[in-house]
Each structure stands twice: as structure tokens, then as C-alpha cells.
Amino acid sequence: MLQLILGGARSGKSRLAEKLAADTHLPVTYIATSQPLDGEMNQRVAQHRARRPAEWALVEEPLALAWVLRENAASDRCLLVDCLTLWLTNLLMLDDPQRLIAEREALLDCIGVLPGEVIFVSNETGMGVVPLGELTRRYVDEAGWLHQALAERCQRVVLTVAGLPLTLKGTAL
């Protein structure tokens, strides 16, 4: 099953995704897309690490997500990707705009054939004001288009607000 867990900052989306992964009773591979480049992000990463079970495998990949998914997916495994908007940000910050297009297409092309369970976590950014600045507007646009494309392909889509899941598509939690 493919699942997309959306929510705002500190909405509980990562905790929900981690619970869903644990509930599969499969070995879990946590795919981290962040690049902890400052002290604050290092603290966030440490919090996530402290919450995860020690037996979960970890793959850190900020750019080549489709490749990592294909390499790690298996019928007897759960992959948890946290988070897509950090991955998107990493790609937007590159000097190569074609890399974003290629990586997004590779992701969307591969997810329909991945075996096992895959849970994607992403920040829902389309519920606020339109941001100032070309890069932030592009980020919101790209995130929105990515979420729409993933939601179409996923069997379950959940919006998390204040730690509460609202199932938008698929079987309710």
C-alpha cells in the first residue's frame, strides 16, 4: 500500500507515519531526506532519531529518492519517507532546474511498481497565504503539484491536524 501523510509543521504527521509503519509489523527502512546544515535542523534530526525504534534501518538521501525507493522496496518491508517537502527543497536549491523535473518524474514513475508498504510524509503548504518571493512561490506550487500527483497514486491519503488524522482517501484510520 502507498500512503501519503500530509500536515503542517508540528501537526503530528511524522508520529502518525511512524505508528503506521510500526503497525505493519514489517521491517522498516526510514528514508530521511533532510540535510542538517545548522544547529536547529540537527536538533530536529536528533528528535526524530530518538523516537525511532533502534531496529529500523536508516537511509539518508537528500536527492535521489526514486533510486533509494527502488533499491530498498521489498514485499516484506515498509519504507517510510520523511519528508517530501525537504526533498523538494533540496532539489529547488540546486543550480540545475532539470534535476527537479527528472527526480520528480522518476519518483512518480516508480511508485506504482514498488513492492511492500511505502509511507510518504510531507508538509501541506497550500493552506496559507501566497508567499512573497519567486522561490517560495515556486516551492508552494511544486509541493502542491507533487502532492496532487502522489494523492492520485496512493491508496490512502491522510491530513494530520493537531495530532488528529483526517482520512481524505482510502480506509479511515
Which are the catalytic amino acids? 48
| Angle, in degrees to the nearest 10, between helices 65-72 and 97-110 | 30
CB 114, CB 69: distance < 8 Å:
yes
Q: Give ∠ CA 153-63-120 in degrees, rounded to 5.
A: 35
Pairing of strands 164-169, 156-161: antiparallel
> Tell me, what DSSP letter sits at residue 105?
H
